[in-house]
Structure 1
Amino acid sequence: MGTTQLESVPEPKYWHLKTVLTEALDSEFSVGEILPNERDLAARFGVARATLRQALEQLELEGRLQRRRGVGTTVAPPRMGVSVGTEQHVWPGGPGDAWQSVDCTEAAPPAAVADILETGRDEPVHTVRRTRMSHGQPVAAELLYVPASSVPDLSAIDAPAGAAHARALLRELHRLELEGQDSAVELGSARADDAKELDRLPGAPVLVVTTRYVAGARTAALSVATYRADTCRLTFGDSGGVEIHHPHRHAS
């Protein structure tokens, strides 16, 4: 059988422009700085505005740019490290936890969650909703599912609803001896509720990190955290992995 050789495919014009824009971001702009409008940028680089938009959309997807309502297109901060697979086991809400509690409700969880928690599919569980911010922007939203059996004394605590009730539940959870935890990561698309919390459009790429907390040889809690894929990077191990920094400096 004969062999064939694929002809070289020319680089799309917008892709070349993306490379040029990346170099400009590194040498001329600072984090948070607003880019010139599309008309001026297209004129500067000698391209059609449609080509420019494709390049800007790719840079936004890669986390180099952010489009903020009422502000414009700005240079994004470095991606936030998300530690996955670390050997250090800690309960949510422990020392150094960067999450902010929003509220706490009690309802039947999704069927897949109920199966992991080994609760009845119609059995209510506590659901703590938390958010994580970076540089003033929401970067992650979490749903922490906790069965009533993990916090049996919670009903005796006089804590109002909302964030205070969520914090009280986390304190009760810390009474258990954490035996271990395991995490899984997958790429997904933002659902309508996630998109609203993360200030993204529905369908935007997200990283879904599911963490199971084990105490008393059973799943004591389950976290489903949704991270913006354009602002986060995963780190493995206690050291946090390799750091990559973009200069984001002004030209002298």
Structure 2
Amino acid sequence: MGTTQLDHQPEPKYRHLKTVLSRALDTEFSVGQALPNERELAARFGVARATLRQALDQLELEGRLQRRRGVGTTVAPPRVGVDVSPRQHTWPGAPGDTWVASDAVRTTPPPAVARALDVPAEEPVEVVHRTLIAHGQPVAAEQLHIPVDVLPPGDEPRGTSGAERARAVLARLGRLDLGGQDRSVELGSAGSDDARRLDRLPGSAVLIVTTRYVAGGRTVAVAVATYRADTCRLTFGNQASGSQAPLSLSAS
């Protein structure tokens, strides 16, 4: 990676540096290759480390770089396309669902989720934890909240937590007649739990997709999925009818 004078540029230094670094990523580095450390890069380009971090932050948001504990900054693979349109119209855990259920516990939901489910804030609900894996890495983590009283009668899940309990809860949920679902998306930052599950640093940019499932005229489940903004490209659209091309949404 060659040196470049960044003084006297008509645009902010970090933007020009981002352009220079992006060009180097295309020509001098391969996917997975580590960049020099911040001190070396700042000295090479003659900028303050704060300016360098601004440029690196932008490249991470655009999906060009990844930062991982104990690894440093590496060149990111192409973003994974994740279809979040409701065209499949199925319950979580239905055949063909690629999410992996890892745990289920009965606990009180966040206030916003309790309001969406129309349950008292202190009332425990079933919370199923699931992870989406793509190209061998976790790209999304989900918490699916289900009021206990909506689950059809059946064998109580064994144990107080674990993957077996999660699968049992999803199986009971799948017996309901799904009436509809809707989704919303917002940009956020990873909390400590999501960062750990997604192998990210706390505060990293994420895309938060909230899905509301309806059955029998009421909301019976709310899923809050956290997608890595550096690796995911969410797609939407009426793909079932073919009348509208999917819309790509990225965090760049």
Q: TM-score, normalised by structure 2?
A: 0.81
- Mapped partners of 1:150, 1:113: distance in 2: 15
Partner of 1:191: 191
The alignment-based identity, stated in percent, is: 62
- Mapped partners of 1:54, 1:119: distance in 2: 43
Partner of 1:126: 126
Partner AA of 1:82 in structure 2: V
Partner of 2:46: 47
Partner AA of 1:241 in structure 2: P
- Mapped partners of 2:157, 2:204: distance in 1: 40
Matches within 5 A, 1:79-118: 79-118=79-118
Give the secondary structure class of the aligned counterpart of 2:23.
helix
**Shift, 1:155, TM fit:** 4.1
Change (3 A) 1:121 1:30: same
Mark the structure with the bigger radius of gyration: 1
Unaligned runs of 5+ in 1: 1-8, 245-252
Give the secondary structure class of the aligned counterpart of 2:235.
strand
Whether contact under 8 Å (2:152, 2:173) holds in the other structure is no
Change (3 A) 1:121 1:166: same
Partner of 1:66: 66
Q: 233-242 or 112-121, which moves further after superposition? A: 233-242
Deviations 1:99-141 (A, max 9, x none): 2212111122222222221223222211111122333333222
* Count of matched residue pairs: 235
Q: 177-186 or 87-96, which moves further after superposition? A: 87-96
Whether contact under 8 Å (2:180, 2:213) holds in the other structure is yes
**Shift, 1:26, TM fit:** 2.2
Partner of 2:177: 177
Deviating 4+ runs (over 6 angstroms): none
Change (3 A) 1:157 1:196: closer
Give the secondary structure class of the aligned counterpart of 2:161.
coil
Partner AA of 2:47 in structure 1: A
Whether contact under 8 Å (2:235, 2:248) holds in the other structure is no
Give the secondary structure class of the aligned counterpart of 1:87.
helix
Partner of 2:6: none
- Mapped partners of 2:235, 2:248: distance in 1: 9
Give the secondary structure class of the aligned counterpart of 1:230.
coil
**Shift, 1:39, TM fit:** 5.7
**Shift, 1:142, TM fit:** 0.9
Change (3 A) 1:96 1:76: farther
**Shift, 1:226, TM fit:** 1.4
**Shift, 1:180, TM fit:** 1.0
Partner AA of 1:152 in structure 2: P
Unaligned runs of 5+ in 2: 1-8, 240-244
- Mapped partners of 1:53, 1:116: distance in 2: 39
- Mapped partners of 2:171, 2:138: distance in 1: 24
Cα-Cα RMSD: 2.7
- Mapped partners of 1:126, 1:151: distance in 2: 10
Change (3 A) 1:157 1:129: closer
Q: TM-score, normalised by structure 1?
A: 0.81
**Shift, 1:158, TM fit:** 4.7
**Shift, 1:59, TM fit:** 1.1
- Mapped partners of 1:152, 1:159: distance in 2: 19
Partner of 2:242: none
- Mapped partners of 1:12, 1:113: distance in 2: 41
